[in-house]
Every structure is written in structure tokens, then in C-alpha cells.
Structure 1
Amino acid sequence: MTLLNAFLIVLKMSFLGTIAAIIILLIKKIFKNKISASCHYLIWMILLLRLIVPYCPESSVSVYNFFTNHNYGTEEIQSPVINNVGHNDIHSNNIQSGVNPSAQKDLSTSLYSTKDGKQELANKIEPSIFNSLQNQRPYTFSDYTYDSNKDKFQAPYIAAIIWLLGTCLGGLYILWLQVSYSIKISKFELCNDRNITAIYEICRSKMKVRKEIPLVMDTSIKTPSLLGIFYPKILLPSDYVERLTEEEFKFVFMHELSHYKRKDIILRWLLIFLQILHWFNPVIWFAFNIIRQDSEKACDEQVLSYIEPSEYKKYGNTMLKMLDIFSGYNSIYGAAGMIDRKKLITERVKNIVNFKKNYVLWSVAGVVIFSVLAVFLLTNARQPVQEVVKIKYEAEKIIPNTEMGVLGRMKLLSNEHLLTYDMQNRRLMTIDDGGNKKEIHCEGLPQDFRLQLFTADAKDAIYIFDGSAEPKIYVFNLEGEKIKEMQVELKDVDPSEMHAVLQWDMKVDSKGNIYLLIPQLQTQQASTQVFDPEGKHIKTLKSDGYVCVELDAEDNLYTIAWENRIVITKQNPLTGEIFWQYEAENNLSYVRNAAYSKQDQSLYLVELNSNSVSKFDL
């Protein structure tokens, strides 16, 4: 994952988190005094999950659907007939328009220029793909991948560097503070006042806290706090010993032990980590500040559940008294303290004095609110339906009177000659634009070898697959000279499937890695086995349904699978990273062939059950 990838993911999560935070704040405002402080605190967990989990399930009820443009358009347009054009005019890697731009009209009226009553061919594509549109508006996939060849001084990349610097500086600052605090706190003395420790033990027993949490005292401590995840400590200012009564100490200890029971320290550190990642987002900072305040209110509510109603006012008075002797704000990051800003203390005391146990109805309401918000905010928007422009086509012979038998597979070479195989006469040959044929006699093939599967790489090396008992791949140049021969380590292939090699497919990427698509007809599945240039098995990619595959200019693999619906997946076949996946519901039928265009970076799909070609702008 590149720096820009990480930055865009964080930026997206921050945006979604901002929406979630605003909605949560509005809900809290509406139900301010209706639901308990614990419910207010619990609702914030939705925001934290939204900021932690990068991927959530899609839903039609997600609130994020309001921020997604949906495009459901499907368009069908009749294309011209292809009249006796050479195959070098039909090239998926060099799609160009023969139309004068000034002569082009609106898409709905004219797609191609006319001359002498005949329509000129507007696009050049591979033989299996007969036509496509020049000015259509296909859906653009946004997969957050970064092209390292692009200018690294673009604004997004600079923003990513600034974000990384801010994150590193924030992390180093927090680390420095914690190391300083740890060294300082290690020198503090344990509380040896028997009266205080006796009160503390009573509180610990009453609240059923089994863990031994030491009491630490020092004059430099600003306010009582709980600190530490694995080795927690309760910090006490030495000045409080003479100023607080035993009952007031009881309230202090119960508040800090409530923080421990609620695991608030873990949450505090999670907030710090997320705040470092989202340091650029003021809404997240504001929301986190409210979370800390709600944490204190929820802690107060838990303390009140352990004391008598007659003690509520005393607990509030203890907080006011501590505020009077409070010497400053607790600056220890990750600590959970009892005293905070004066305005918040006043609000908390009012809540304590007016505290009443919530009715069952409002407790249920709190759970319902949490559940509804989780459904709306912890789901992503449904991906908009792909706009597919279906192009009707008709075809005529592009190379008439070739005087050959049945042609097998065809592959366009870099010189725009057509590489094909005459299955009847068992001849591998090239054909130029004028229909002139040149046979290729491949030296070294087994006697009576029947060629069923072949392809060519970007350098016009011919790869021929031999599906015998010991599968091999032969590599030849265009003169028929053998370049190399390699054993292929096929994995988990049923011997009965070796008789259906004609239905297999083979691709070769720019590095010489070989991709063998092997349909498993009995199970309606397929596997794409990947081999290195020496034929060694690298990995196997599994797919459900009937499949065809295609490689783009960057060796990304497009898997087009059909099982009740078309599923198109773009992935890095070697690392396994999936960039995106698109599911067509009703607007594509079974795809029998696919071709990639380097020039306009599009994928063309030929459908079996309809006379049309579909173009996907990638």
C-alpha cells in the first residue's frame, strides 16, 4: 500500500466519520435528558467503529446513500456495418476514431460521419470486439490506486506527505510525554496512610474489583486520576489528604474504580490514536472531547448506582469542593480523572443532584436508538448501478476468400498481422491486411500434435500449450524457432478436464508470467493458475461460474465470471489485492469474450445471448 493509498483511505474514513459525528450529536441533542448517560456514551462507539473499520457492508438504508451519485442509465445504439476492412483497422490496443471531430454530432443523432452514402468505421478494436462508442459516458471506477509514474508533486501527494508529517509529529509528541510521565511516576511513593488505604480497600471490595491497583501520591499530581492499561495506578495529590473527609475519599475512589471497571483507559488511548490519524479534522476533535465528557458522566452514573440516594448530593458537593482546591488541568494523556473544566463540573453536579433511575421504557429506547444508528451509520452506500452502453453490431467478412479451413483462435500481433490457426489443415499462420498468409512451422513440437491453445505476448513470442500426460508450454518466435520449452506444474486439475483444453484460455503478462484459465464444467467453477516464466506454479485464483480473463497494460487481471449475474473483479493476481468488484444485476448477460484497450483504458465485453458489445471505462 502506497502513502497516497493510506492517506485516501484515512481521508474517506474521516469524511464518513464526520457525517456520523454530526448525526450522533443531533440525536444526543434530541434525547439529551431522555436516555441515560451510559447510553449517550455507548452511542459514540458507532463513531469509533466507523473510524476504525475501513470497510463496512453496503446497505440501501445507509445514510451515506445521500452522498452517492446513482446512475442507472442503459443505452442501446445501432452501430454501422463493418464493410471489408482489414484486421489492422480493428485493434483493441490502438482504438482511434476515423471521424473528424468537427463532423461529430450529438450522441443521440449521429455517432459516425458519412461519406458517399456509406458510414466510415469510427473505432478500431480487436476482432472479437466489433464496435464501441467514442463519446459515451461510462461509469468510472474509483479504486484508490496510485500510479507511481505520475507526477509526485501533485496536490494529493503533497497533502499525503503533510498528513504523514503531522501524524508522525503527533505520535512522537505523545510518545515523549508518556516516557516523561513514566519516568516521573516511577519515582512517586505509594500511599502509606492506613486510613486512606482502608477506605480504598472497602471501595474496591464493594465494587468487586479484584485487581490490585496501587495508590500513588505526590504533590505534583494535579487531580485524582487512573493511569495505565496493563499496570494501572490511581494517582492522588498529597494536598488532598488533609482537605478531604473519609466519605469524600470514598467518592473519589469509587469514581476512579468505575473508570477501571468500564475500561475507560483503553478507550482514552484509542481516542488518542485516532486523533493523531485525524489531526486535520476539527469535527473529530470536537466529537472526541464530547466523548471524554460523556465518559465522566457515565462514570458518575455508575458511582450513583453504588451509593444511597441520600448520598447523591454529598457526591456532587465533593466534586465542587475538589474544584475549589483544584490546582490545574490534568495534562496526563491517557489518564481518566475525576475533575475537569468548571463548566463541565457544574453540569455534572446538576445531573447528579437530579439523578433518577431511568424507566425501563427509556432504557429500551436507548438500545433501539443505538441499533438504528448502527444500521444507518455502520453501513456503506450501495454502489451505483453500472451504466452500461450496449452497442448493437453487425459484422461482415474482413478478409474474404482466404481459402482456409476452420479458423481457431486469433491473436493480433504488434505489427498488426493476425496470428491464427487453421484447425482443418493444422497450420499456424499469420495473415496481413491484404489476406496474404504466411505459415509458421514450429520446430520441435511432438509428432501429430494437435494445437488447441496458444497465445502471443507483447514481444510476439508464441506460447503453445501441450495438454498431454506431462503438460508443457512451448515458446516460439514468428519464424518458428523454438525459444524454450517448459514443464507446467498444474495443480488440482482433473485428468478428464485435460480433454477440454479447447475451452481453456491463456494469457502472458509483460514479465512473462503465464495465466491458464481452466474451466471446471462439472462444478461450474474455474481456476486461473499462475506460473512464472519457467513454468513454476505461483498460485491459483478460484472463481465461481463460467469465466473469461483479461490483462491490462499494468498486468492487473480482470476476471469476468457469470453465475446468474456478471461479476467483474479487478485485482493484482500476484499479490491478491482486489481493487474493486462490480456485480451486474440485469443489464449484462453471459459474457463470452473480453478485450482490453490500452489507449482509452476500457474493457470491452462481448455478450453471448445478445448481439451487443459493452464498454467499461476503468
Structure 2
Amino acid sequence: MNTYNCISWIIYSSINGSILVMGIFLLRHILKNRLQGTWNYYMWFLLIIRLISPYGFTKSFNLIFVMKNLLKNTYTKSSQGLVKTYFKGNNSGIRFNDMTKDYALSINKKIAYFNMDVLFSLWLIGAIIFFMIFIYTNIKSRKKYSSANVVKDNKILDIFKFCKEKTKVKSHLKLIKDDKIYSPMIYGIFKAYLILPERELKGLEEKDIRNIMLHEMVHYKSKDILVNIITTFIQIVHWFNPIIWIGFAKMRKDREIACDTKVLSYLESWEHKEYGETIIKLLRNYNNTRIETSFSVGFLHNRAYLKERINNIVSFKNRSKKRILVGSMAIFLLANVFLCDGKEKFNYLKDNIGRIPKNYEYEHVGKYFNGYEGTFVLYDMKNDKYHIYNESLSKKRVSPLSTFKIGISLVGLEEGIIKDENMIIPWNKEIYPFEEWNKDQNLKTAMKYSVNWYYEAVSSRIGHRTMKKYVDKMKYGNKFVSNNITRFWNESSLKISPIEQISFLRDFYAYKLPFSKENLDRVKEVIKVSKNNRGQLSGKTGTANVNNKNINGWFIGYVEKDDNTYFFATNINAIDKASGSAAKHITLSILKEKGIY
């Protein structure tokens, strides 16, 4: 994962987490006192899941998906609007490409101009600072508690043994005391200590000591220290987001109420009042200035939270079917709304497919990419070998642009929307700046001149659900078909890498795609470009013209020779002049040098 992907994931995750925190607060306000203390605590585990999981879990509805636009460029004008502007005398929105007929209308976007590397560096500095604080405080605490006094009082040890049996804590737990703390606590994971405040023991009765130990053993048995460590590391990652910190602060407070609730289930009803009195006794001398560590959980939090804890004790009731139902429904609702964003909807951040084929060799063809950042991938079918220039970009997903018109053609034919390559779709009477577009079109002319309105019409008739079905079956790139059915392939949701383009072309050529042989042959025929004494060249260009600049260009296809077939995919990008025509020129130069075409 590069710095762009890393910081994008962190920001996206942080936004999702923030909205989930607000959702939890809102739901709790609506339910008020209908939830038992433990359920309020369990809700926060959804926040942990949300912040450590890169994806959602189903294709369910998701309110927070609308926030993705904070990380993505947003469209401000449609190409139709630009055409109307052009004929009113302003032609700044139109770019004419060269004689290859690689026509493209400009898409205006709001682009966020900031350096992701700088942003990543700032985040990393903050994360390192918080991590060092975490290490320092825990090392200091470890040294302190490892040398504390072991409890030798037989009465206290008997209570300790009783509480272990009551809570069924079987693992070794060392009982120690410290005269510098005011609140009992559990410290450590692998070597755990139950630490008692030595100065407070003198004023406590046996029942108070029992209540304290039960509370701490419930913490220990519930693995609350482990949860504390996990949340601390999440806070380090999201150190810049105060909403996440507020959420986890509330979670720690709710953890104490949840712990109180579990302790009450071990006690008789007449003992509940005594448990509340124990909390009040300890709070009289409680000093809240101690440094919290991730490896400890304590009996008290602060005085301000006393009222809520006492109210929970007074209103305690054993679990009822109604409370369990309400709590389960609340968590299910939160999970379905805030966690289920669908793995596919996160794929726009996932630029890389991760792996390059093992059967490849590096191509030294950088001289042809002068002025462009780009990649060239060639697959030799006879020798089953890839030739790749610029491995990192060869696996980077970008918009397929007009190269996806191959896919649209196949779906249109298969669904009967396009009867055959000669079927005419009438011109929509919109005036376009390209003469070839301002007339009726069939599949052959629409592919040759890359006629956008033709493919927009076909896509509209196909519909979102059907298109999504075929894109999934084709395993095309990130397989993300947005609701904008006429533009999802053009600088929008659908993304594909050059290596994936090769895989698509190989399946297309070998009749392995979910289309009839007849329809595959029809599309093969209309993408034929030229022929010479070396072989037959087939392919399709694509250009991303954004804010009047050609920023991305594709040329994909294959060369059929007598004894072999070579598949290729070239992608280039630049501030300007990175068109499909330029990508085609680069490709033909490389193919000529290699003696392929």
C-alpha cells in the first residue's frame, strides 16, 4: 500500500468511525434508559470493527457511503452542458484529438490539490509521538508495579480466593498493594496483577474488599485490558480525530457500568446497595491525577460519572427477554447501517491489485514514454510470458475510459439491445463538435469514432442491475458500477489496471467471457484497426480529458500473427497531452521495435 492509499484509507476510515460515533450517541438518546449497561458498552465494539476493517461486510444499504465524495473528485458539469456552452461561443470545454478519431469531451472536476506525501508525513509524525508516549507510560508503570508489595494478610487472601472461585478465574493472578494509588486496578495481560490501594484498605470492611475484587476480576475475565490496548492503538492511528477519542472515552466509562452490571449478577439483591456504598467510599479520597495506561483497568473513573453508575445499580434488573431483544436490535441496526458498505464500494481507494505475474521480464522501453508517466504490458501467448515496463503502474487501477466500450458492446449485443453490427441507433439531435457524431450510428461507426452518445444510449437501455451482473461475470477491474449508468466507466467508479486489461483481453480472445461466440466475433471484427505484412492489429483507445487537459490515455488490444498472438495494454498520464492517440503511438513504436507489428 503506497502513501496515497494509506492516508486515503485512514481518512475514509476516520470519517466512517466519526459518523458511527454520532450514530451511537443518537440511538442511545432515542432509546434512553431502555438498554441495560452491558448493551451500551457492546455498541462500541462496532466502532473497533469499523476502524480496523478496510471493508464493509455485505452489499447492504449504507448511509455513510455518501461521504465517499469527501475523498473523491466530484463532477460539476455534464458533457452535454459543455456542448451547449461551445456553441454559444466558448469552446474551452472541448478538446479535439488527432487523426486516430480518439475523440473525448472534457469533464470538469473539482480537484483537491494537496500533497499526499506531506499529509502522510504529518500523520506519521503525530502517530510516532503518541506511540512513544504509550511506550513510556507503560514501561514506567511496569517497573513500578513489578516491585510493589505482595499482600500477605490472610483475611484479604481468603477474600481473594473466594472471589476467584465466584467468578471462575482459574489463571494465575498476583495480588499486590501500592500506597501511591487511590483506585484498585488490574494491570498486565500475560503477567497480571490485581493492585489494591494500600492507604485505602484500612478504612474498608471485608464486604468492600470483596466488592472491589469482584469488580476487578470481572475486568480481568472480560479481557478488558486487551480491548484497552486495541483501542489505544486505534487512537494512535486516528490521533487527529477528536470524535474518535470522544467515542473511546465514552466506551471506557460504559465499560465500568458494564462491569458493575456483571458484578451485580454475582451478588444477592440485598448486597447491591452495599456495592454502591463501596464505590462512594473510594471516591471520597479518589485522586484523578494518575496517568492512565493501556495495560490497566481500574475500579473508578471519576466523580462526575458517579451518578450514572449509582443509577445503574439502583435500577439493576437481571436480564430480561425484552432488554436482550432491544439491545440486539440496536446493535443489528447500527451494524447494518454503518458497517455494511460493501467491499466493492471501497475499491475506488484500492488502486493496486497487488501482484504481478511471476512469468514476466522487465521491458526497457522508457525512452518511448518521454514526458509521460506510464506503463506498457505485453503478453506473449505462445511462450506464456509477460513483458512489463513500470511494474508499479502496471497494477494500478485507473478509469478504463473508452476502452470499456468493448464491454458495453458485448453486453448490448448479448441483451439484444444491439441486434447486430449494422443496427442503427438514431442520432439524438444534440450537436457535437465532432462531425462524425452528428449522424445515426451503428456498432461499427460508433466504435470507430468512439461515439459517446451511442454508448450512453446503450448503457441506459441495459440498466444498472444488468450491467452490474455482466461486469461481475467478466471480473472486470474493481467491478464497481455506480448508479450513473452512462458515465461509470469515464473517470468515475469503474477502475482497471493494465495487467487486468490483459486478462480481460485474453478471456475475450479465447471466448471465455459470458457471451455467445457470435457476439464475441462481432466485437472482434469492429475493433480491428489495421493490417500489414506482420499481422492483424486490433484495439481500442481511451482518453480522459479533465478540465480541458488530456490527463490519461489508454491503448489496449492484440496483434494476431500466423504463429502467435500478442496482447498489449499501454496507459499514460500527465498534466496534459496524455491521450489515447499518444498511447497508441507509443505502443506501435514498441511493437515495431520488437518486430511484432
- The answer to whether the superposition gives a TM-score over 0.5 is yes
Structure 2 contact 3–116 (Cα < 8 Å) conserved: no
1:134 corresponds to: 105
1:39-58 to 2 correspondences below 5 Å: 39-57=39-57
Distance, in Å, in 2 between the alignment partners of 1:314 and 1:121 is: 81
**Gap change, CA 1:234 and 1:571, over 3 Å in 2:** farther
Does structure 2 conserve the Cα–Cα contact (< 8 Å) formed by 1:72 and 1:385?
A: no
Confirm whether residue 315 of structure 1 aligns to residue 264 of structure 2: no
Match among 307, 311, 317 for residue 356 of structure 1: 317
Alignment of 1:129-278 (within 5 A): 130-136=101-107, 154=114, 156-278=116-238
Give the Cα–Cα distance (whole angstroms) in 1 for the partners of residues 287 and 177 of structure 2: 15
Pair 1:515-2:378 in alignment? yes
Q: Describe the shift of the 1:239–1:572 C-alpha distance in structure 2 as closer, same or farther (beyond 3 A).
A: farther
CA–CA distance in structure 2, aligned partners of residues 61 and 73 of structure 1: 26
Deviations 1:106-136 (A, max 9, x none): 36889999xxxxxx9932164xxx3423334
Residue 429 of structure 2 is matched in structure 1 by none
Q: 1:305 aligns with which of 265, 270, 283?
A: 265
Q: Which has the larger radius of gyration?
A: 1
2:119 match: secondary structure: helix
Decide whether aligned partners of structure 1 residues 331 and 553 sit closer, same or farther in structure 2, where only a CA change above 3 A counts.
closer
> Which residue of structure 2 lines up, in the alignment, with residue 12 of structure 1?
12
Partner amino acid, structure 1, of 2:297: A
State yes or no: 1:106 paired with 2:67. Answer: no
Q: Residues 323 and 572 from structure 1, CA distance in 2 versus in 1: closer, same or farther, beyond 3 angstroms?
A: farther
| CA distance in 2 between partners of 1:600 and 1:192 (Å) | 76
Tell me: CA distance 1:305–1:159, structure 2 relative to 1, closer, same or farther (3 Å).
same
Write out aligned runs for 1:468-479 (5 A): none
Instruction: Give the drift of 1:238.
Output: 0.9
Matches within 5 A, 1:407-556: 515-516=378-379, 518=381, 529-531=385-387, 554-556=393-395
Mapped pair 1:371 → 2:297: no
Whichever residue aligns with residue 211 of structure 1, its letter is S
Partner SS state of residue 17, structure 1: helix
Are residues 283 and 572 of structure 1, via their aligned partners in 2, closer, same or farther at CA, if it must alter by over 3 Å? farther
Distance in 2 between the 1:228 and 1:295 partners? 17
Q: Is the 8 A contact 2:21 2:243 kept in 1?
A: yes
Q: 2:31 & 2:150 partners in 1: Cα distance?
A: 44
User: Residue 604 and residue 108 in structure 1: after superposition, are their counterparts in 2 closer, same or farther (change >3 A)?
Assistant: farther
SS in 2 for 1:601: strand
Partner letter of residue 372 of structure 1?
Answer: L
1:562-581 matches, within 5 Å, as: 564-565=470-471, 567-568=476-477, 569-571=495-497
**CA distance 1:124–1:384, shift in 2 (3 Å):** farther
| Uncovered stretches (5+) of structure 2, i.e. residues with no partner | 349-362, 412-469, 478-494, 503-513, 528-538, 545-549, 558-578, 584-597
Distance in 1 of aligned mates of 2:240 and 2:78 = 43
Amino acid corresponding to residue 271 of structure 1 in structure 2? T
Q: CA deviation at 1:459?
A: 5.2
The offset of 1:213, in angstroms, is 0.4
CA contact under 8 A between 1:215 and 1:235: conserved in structure 2? yes
Cα RMSD for the two superposed structures: 4.5
Matched-pair identity in %: 23
> 1:303, 1:342 → 2: CA distance?
20
Residues 478-526 of structure 1 show CA distances to partners (whole Å, capped at 9, x for unaligned) of xxxxxxxxxxxxxxxxxxxxxxxxxxxxxxx989x8631649xxxxxxx
Q: Distance in 2 between matches of 1:286 and 1:204?
A: 34
Give the number of aligned pairs: 414
Q: Please tell me whether the aligned partners of residues 112 and 122 of structure 1 are also in contact (alpha carbons under 8 angstroms).
A: no
Partner SS, residue 570 of structure 1: coil
- SS at 2:202's partner residue? coil
Residues in 2 aligned to 1:338 and 1:179: alpha-carbon distance in whole angstroms: 22
What residue number does 2:357 align with? none
Question: Structure 1, residues 293-352: CA drift from partner, whole Å, max 9, x if none?
Answer: 110000000001110011111100000011113244442312110112112122201210
TM-score normalised per structure 1: 0.58
Indicate conservation of the 8 Å contact 1:329/1:341, yes or no: no
